[in-house]
Amino acid sequence: MMKVLFALATIAAIGAVPVVAQESCEAGFRLFEHGGGQTCIPEKAERIVGLHDQSITLTLLEIGAPVVGSHGRVADDGREFLRSVEEMLGYTFENSGIGFVGSYPLDVEAIAALSPDLIIARTYDLDLRQQYEVIAPTVFIADDPQDPMNFARDVADASGELEEWERLLEAYQRNIETARRTFPELVGQSYAKIQAWDGKLTVYAGYGGLTKVLEDLGLVRTPFAQAMSDRGVAWGEEVSVELLPEQQADYTFDTYNIAGGDTYGAARQRLVDVLPNWCDVLKSCSEGRYIVLPREYSTGYGFSQLNTLIPLITTHAARVPVGD
């Protein structure tokens, strides 16, 4: 404890660069604009702590950035894990050397003990801004409702690995072009994203990376989901089961949580618990176009997630096309 407090005091004494409007930075640093203002950050960071596993750490690891610490999750058995990072890249806290800095609330002392030269956070973390800035230059990345990929782009830019991220973006775009050429019949088809939990039905306007891939492939939201999106709903809302018939779509998507010990069948059963004959109500299900995907693959914007979703979606769609 005393060592960590001494480290914090030492860093404060030498002065982490404050997040204020500036015109220039000292040698080896560059000015970076983000959701918290402007900050002088290393031109090439060497020890980065990411304050969200799926949206920040996954992107950093995909582009080869030097991650020394990350936010993570704690399973029911007490195991600390990196959501989606383990499934997509195979990195764990145990095999990667990445330090666990807590779930929420994050452990500021654990972050300081890793001696980072850059902390990358989300704008949701701005309330602890002063504590992070004492440790290292900190940037707060904001979501962009118009283009969700801008979040990951800013993470890559802050890390100094934007060129590698753009190379991976081009590869993803080529994969989408190939899929659209191979499955032109998907263009204009409708999709719904629903989910049941504890006897309640949730309908989604958007679902992170899953929504991006579906729309890049040319599918469109249902009128119900589009109306939700138009009034500013980014994810989902609980609705009355009586509204289930309004979720008619060519394809219906659902998800299950690998990290939580969930199963494919559990997702379907949860809908049965809401309405026993739900599959008869939705034509997409009764005709075999109810598609259940792992949540860890579906919610984020990592290229490993997006590129995995393309064949998952197209293979399911090819198995039971609309009209067959």
DSSP letters along 136-194, please?
Answer: S-EEEEPP-TT-THHHHHHHHHHHT-HHHHHHHHHHHHHHHHHHHHH-GGGTT-EEEEE
Show the tokens assigned to 209: 């990376």
Q: Predicted confidence band at 324 (pLDDT cuts at 50, 70, 90)?
A: low
Across 93-113, average pLDDT: 96
Residue 23: its pLDDT value, please?
64
Q: What is the pLDDT of residues 220-267, one digit of tens each?
A: 999 999 999 999 999 999 999 999 999 999 999 999 999 888 988 999
Across 56-73, average pLDDT: 98
Q: For residue 228, what is the DSSP state?
A: H
Phi, psi of 33 (to 5 degrees): -95, 135
pTM of the model: 0.89
d(CA 198, CA 10): 49
E strand residue ranges, 205-308: 220-221, 236-239, 251-256, 290-294
Across 158-171, average pLDDT: 98
Q: Predicted confidence band at 2 (pLDDT cuts at 50, 70, 90)?
A: very low
Q: Is the pLDDT of residue 3 over 60?
A: no
